[in-house]
């Protein structure tokens, strides 16, 4: 059993922290909105703290799953940040999708403080978090990762170190780039089927068993056809992630024409009032266009 802190109890972090507590670890949680932490403790047991620093005090591992670069900095650094409460040798594991820049910054700050730091963004959506079936892509020192891996495996289907610090975040960018194109392709296929007068469900039943099959197709086509977009990863967050991808591509010279185009389609969805709809709402945009 390890002493753990978990910072950030959103749709992903809440069940992830629950898996850790259920596995027998001693978990202390922190959330910016304290009522969410109170609800978690009432449901799972464990403890809560009013600041990241107090949550992290005495912890062997501190896990985070917050919103963006600024959110991550706020829970890590400063007088009330987790780094100030962690003991030398403790390890910080960040599950947030953020820029490589902030990862490099915090990795260096952690190293200077005698702490380990692993960037470990996740994929698998809310269902993956709830079922403990997340894919976790990691960057960081090999020895630090080896210590953190058994903890992450509590809620992982696959957990792998890709390379040095920042490699996890760069791999997550690859994930989001692939998803953007897949969801647009699936949306266009369903839209085309509707316009051709075909039964979309029958079409997917056949094509999903061949080369066109994908996780997105298997898990999203029915809700897309039912005009239901109130679950899964929100468009606002996807645009945040795609901005990271596109900014990084400008730095490393990668060409991402499809990603840039789909990002603008998601901007259209936001203008439709769909910022909190899930990413499969690209199909709703096509239906609106007629």
Neighbours of 173 (CB within 10 A): 25
Separation between Cα atoms, residue 6 and residue 63, nearest integer Å:
5
**Alpha helices in 6-99, H assignment, sequence order:** 13-22, 34-44, 52-56, 69-76, 82-85
Please say whether the beta carbons of 92 and 4 come within 8 A: no
Separation between Cα atoms, residue 180 and residue 141, nearest integer Å:
30
Neighbours of 214 (CB within 10 A): 17
Distances from the Cα of 141 to the Cα of 4, 72, 76, 127, angstroms: 20, 20, 19, 30
Please say whether the beta carbons of 65 and 13 come within 8 A: yes
**Where do we find the tokens 């003991």?**
87
**Alpha helices in 113-210, H assignment, sequence order:** 125-131, 142-152, 167-195, 200-207
Separation between Cα atoms, residue 241 and residue 4, nearest integer Å:
28
Catalytic (active-site) positions: 172
Separation between Cα atoms, residue 197 and residue 106, nearest integer Å:
54
Six token digits for residue 36:
């969410």
Nearest to 107 by CA among 134, 78, 73, 130: 73
């Amino acid at each position: 059993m390890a002493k753990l802190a978990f910072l950030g109890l959103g749709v992903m972090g809440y069940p992830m922290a629950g898996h850790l507590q259920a596995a027998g670890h001693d978990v202390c949680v922190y959330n910016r909105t304290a009522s969410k932490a109170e609800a978690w403790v009432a449901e799972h047991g464990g403890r809560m703290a009013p600041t990241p620093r107090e949550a992290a005090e005495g912890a062997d591992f501190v896990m985070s799953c917050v919103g963006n670069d600024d959110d991550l900095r706020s829970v890590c650094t400063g007088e009330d940040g987790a780094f100030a409460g962690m003991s030398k040798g403790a390890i910080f594991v960040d599950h947030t999708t953020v820029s490589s820049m902030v990862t490099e910054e915090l990795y260096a700050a952690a190293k200077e403080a005698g702490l380990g730091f692993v960037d470990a963004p996740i994929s698998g959506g809310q269902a993956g978090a709830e079922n403990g079936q997340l894919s976790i892509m990691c960057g960081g020192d090999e020895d630090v990762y080896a210590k953190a891996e058994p903890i992450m495996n509590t809620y992982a289907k696959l957990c792998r170190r890709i390379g040095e610090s920042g490699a996890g975040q760069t791999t997550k960018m690859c994930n989001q780039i692939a998803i953007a194109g897949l969801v647009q392709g699936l949306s266009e296929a369903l839209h085309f089927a509707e316009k051709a007068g075909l039964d979309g469900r029958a079409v997917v039943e056949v094509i999903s068993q061949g080369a066109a099959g994908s996780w997105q197709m298997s898990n999203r086509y029915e809700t897309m056809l039912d005009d239901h977009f109130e679950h899964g990863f929100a468009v606002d967050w996807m645009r945040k992630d795609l901005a990271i991808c596109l900014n990084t591509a400008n730095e490393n010279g990668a060409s991402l024409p499809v990603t840039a185009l789909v990002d603008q389609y998601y901007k259209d969805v936001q203008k439709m009032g769909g910022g909190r709809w899930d990413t499969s709402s690209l199909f709703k945009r096509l239906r609106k266009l007629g």
